[in-house]
Every structure is written in structure tokens, then in C-alpha cells.
Structure 1
Amino acid sequence: MRPKDSNVHEEQTRAANIDRWGLRCRCGLELTGSGEDGLVGAVNAHLTDRHPSVAGAYNADDILALAYRLPTSSFSVAVAKESV
């Protein structure tokens, strides 16, 4: 069994290595996601919820063409929860 601190460090390292992507919607909301798939999911959910007339109009390539990679300093580091 690994020490608890080892799990926290491993989770922090894994979280820091995930690419974070962003896209600013025309309504002004900045959407973010972990990796390309996370961003595409966030954008599609936003469009369905707030802009239903254009939901489904953009494929993943369209969304990623408008996206930008967030700088490392904006990454949030997840803290591992102790297993029960």
C-alpha cells in the first residue's frame, strides 16, 4: 500500500499534465475543458443549453479551429481524495 502523500503527488502530477483548452463563445462566456474532447463536450453542452438554434451545427473540427490552449499557469491541480 502506498503512503497517502504518494497518491496526492501522483494525482497532482497527472492533473498538471492534462492539456486545458478554451474557447470564448459569441455570448461572452469562456468555456474550458480538459483536453480536446473535454472542450468539445463543454461547447456542445453550452450550445444545447443556451443556443439551441445552433446546437449540433458545429463538429469537433469546427470547435477546435476556434479553440486555444490555456497557459500552464491557469491549470487547476486536483487533490486526490483519500479512499474509504
Structure 2
Amino acid sequence: EETIKSLKEEIEEIENELSKEVIKITEKYDNTIRELEEVIVKPRKGDIEVSSLSLAWMPHWQLTYKDRESNINTEITIAY
């Protein structure tokens, strides 16, 4: 019974320490968030680097035709 009482007291002490630390951390980061400011950074040509460039091409046919009612239709169809 004495061990249980001792453990409960120890748990209570640890929880109190935890609460104090949580408050400290919260205050620290709340202040940090309030101190943030927006900085606009304009890109320069010298700051841009293209590491790779790819070109993909898929051949297509553009078909224009008249249907039975003489309407002109245009369709794009894959050419393979």
C-alpha cells in the first residue's frame, strides 16, 4: 500500500513537471509565431537552374469531314 501511494505521488509530480514544460514550450512558440513577418523574394534569372528538360510527342491526325447532313466535323485521332 505504501508503494502504491509513493507511485501515485511520483506520477503526480511528473504530471506537474509535464504541465509546466508544456506551458513553457507553448509560450516560446506562441511568441515565435507572433514575430513572423512576410518577406517577398523576387526571383532572378541567375537563381533559376534547369537540371533536365524533356520533350514528348505523340503523332495525331486532325480529320475534317462532312457528315451525311453536310455538317463539317473535326476530330483528332491518334496516328498509330
Indicate the structure (1 or 2) with the bigger Cα radius of gyration: 2
TM-score, normalised on structure 2?
0.27
TM-score, normalised on structure 1?
0.26
